[in-house]
């Protein structure tokens, strides 16, 4: 089983959105559907235990996808359970690499947008505090990276 963790700052907007979108894409891929487990976390504990942001949840519900979620923080123990950690931006990348370096097992840590060859910039902008259109843009950027992520996972399977 390949374990993938999606990571952002608070684990209420970008990472749960990417978790569910990636999970849905994996479910339609026979080579991956029973071989990859996806979850998410944040680098911060400020939203720990909270549900997904209402705009992320509404976006997923409109697509017929699950919107249940409880925010949690990345720990060394959680990092040690991962094969691949996909991060939203450069700040998450720095924080995740520090946590992973402290652990026993060394998960690979990569930016989500690195999997989109047409991406302009490396960061998935944080939509928190912005209108619903910012969440739609984040979902579009995540969706554009999905083919590359799936290809990476197929190579690991």
Active site residue 34: no
Whole-number Å distance between alpha carbons of 13 and 51: 10
Of the candidates 8, 13, 95, 113, the residue annotated as catalytic is 8
Whole-number Å distance between alpha carbons of 60 and 67: 6
How deeply is 151 buried, as exposed, middle or buried, from its count of CB atoms within 10 A (0-12, 13-18, 19+)? exposed
Active site residue 89: no
The tally of CA atoms less than 13 A away on the side-chain side of residue 25 is 20
Of the candidates 89, 95, 116, 126, the residue annotated as catalytic is 126
Of the candidates 13, 14, 89, 116, the residue annotated as catalytic is 14
Other CB atoms within 10 A of residue 72 CB = 17
Could you give the residue numbers annotated as active site?
8, 14, 126
């Amino acid at each position: 089983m390949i374990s993938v963790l999606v990571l952002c700052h608070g684990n209420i907007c970008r990472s749960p959105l990417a978790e569910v979108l990636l999970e849905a894409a994996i479910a339609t891929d026979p080579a991956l559907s029973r071989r990859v487990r996806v979850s998410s976390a944040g680098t911060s504990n400020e939203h720990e235990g909270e549900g997904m942001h209402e705009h992320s949840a509404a976006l997923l519900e409109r697509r017929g996808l699950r919107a249940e979620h409880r925010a949690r923080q990345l720990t060394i123990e959680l990092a040690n359970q991962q094969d691949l950690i996909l991060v939203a931006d450069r700040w998450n990348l720095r924080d995740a690499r520090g946590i992973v370096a402290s652990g026993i097992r060394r998960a690979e840590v990569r930016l989500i947008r690195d999997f989109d060859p047409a991406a302009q910039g490396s960061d998935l902008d944080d939509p928190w505090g912005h209108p619903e259109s910012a969440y739609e843009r984040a979902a579009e950027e995540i969706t554009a990276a999905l083919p590359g992520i799936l290809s990476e996972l197929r190579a690991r399977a």
